[in-house]
Amino acid sequence: MVLLETRDGGVYELCVPKDMVLLETRDGGVYELCVPKDMVLLETRDGGVYELCVPKDMVLLETRDVSVYELCVPKDMVLLETRDESVYELCVPKDKVLLETLDGGVYELCVPKDMVLLETRDGGVYELCVPKDKVLLETRDGGVYELCVPKDMVLLETRDRGVYELCVPKDKVLLETRDGDVYELCVPKDKVLLETRDGGVYELCVPKDKVLLETRDGDVYELCVPKDKVLLETRDGGVYELCVPKDMVLLETRDESL
């Protein structure tokens, strides 16, 4: 049997035969259907449901205007539906790639193996050769930089758009807090860092048999949860310790019932 939660919030336990499938349509209806192995179900964007037989050498295409077509696409070709809803069958050589730019243009490009394509946030497209010992960085303000970052260093772009090259020792970690500050911290192996919703940062020692729980109201608790139980935080903020038998599951419905 299976559980079905419908879009209107109802929950049903149903027995579905192996040779049948459940279909919930966009209008909220639920149907039990027998679909032959050589056929497929198609629910179109306008809500219609069709049972179709699609030959192995063909594909179904549903365009943005809700039309459905059965097409035979040769193995050496691809289908392209552009942003203006046109559909093209194209033969793309193995040494080329297709690029659809933000303005709707489609281009067939030959990109050498030692180069990469970069489409920036302003819509520009560039073919760049990036040395193996360098990386490309596109910052939040749209700038693009080629940087050489030593193996023992990392790049950090902060929330205020600054970019820094930092050397972080193996026994330390970087922490960028919600207010934009960056700290280099040494966290012992038996401790964890906790940043709470109010912006506080704490170093805590949590025993192996316990877990940390931060509730939706911002409180933090250290709890011991038996192996045969689970913690459940409901949508109304309540926290419960529950024992769920192995052959059962928990279901929280949309109306917050359990």
d(CA 49, CA 30): 12
pLDDT value at residue 24: 76
d(CA 48, CA 41): 10
* pLDDT, tens digit (0-9, with 9 covering 90-100), for 180-220: 777 777 777 777 777 777 777 777 787 777 887 777 777 77
pLDDT value at residue 54: 78
If you average pLDDT over residues 126-141, what whole number do you get? 74
Q: What percent of the chain clears pLDDT 90, i.e. is strictly above it? A: 0
If you average pLDDT over residues 47-66, what whole number do you get? 75
Non-local CB neighbours of 246 within 8 Å, separated by 6+ positions: none
pLDDT value at residue 256: 61
pLDDT value at residue 34: 80
State the pTM of this model. 0.34
d(CA 161, CA 30): 50
Q: Which residues pair with 233 in a beta bridge?
A: 239
If you average pLDDT over residues 47-76, what whole number do you get? 75
pLDDT value at residue 211: 80
Average pLDDT value over all residues in the chain: 74
pLDDT value at residue 257: 62
Please report which confidence band the pLDDT of residue 81 belongs to, taking 50, 70 and 90 as the band edges: confident
Compute the Cα dihedral for 117, 118, 124, 126 and give only its sign. negative
C-alpha of 141 from chain center? 25
d(CA 204, CA 189): 11
How open is the CA angle 140-146-150, to the nearest 5 degrees?
A: 105
Q: What is the DSSP letter of 211?
A: E
| Cα atoms in the 13 Å half-sphere on the side-chain side of 45 | 8
* pLDDT, tens digit (0-9, with 9 covering 90-100), for 106-133: 777 777 777 777 777 777 777 777 777 7
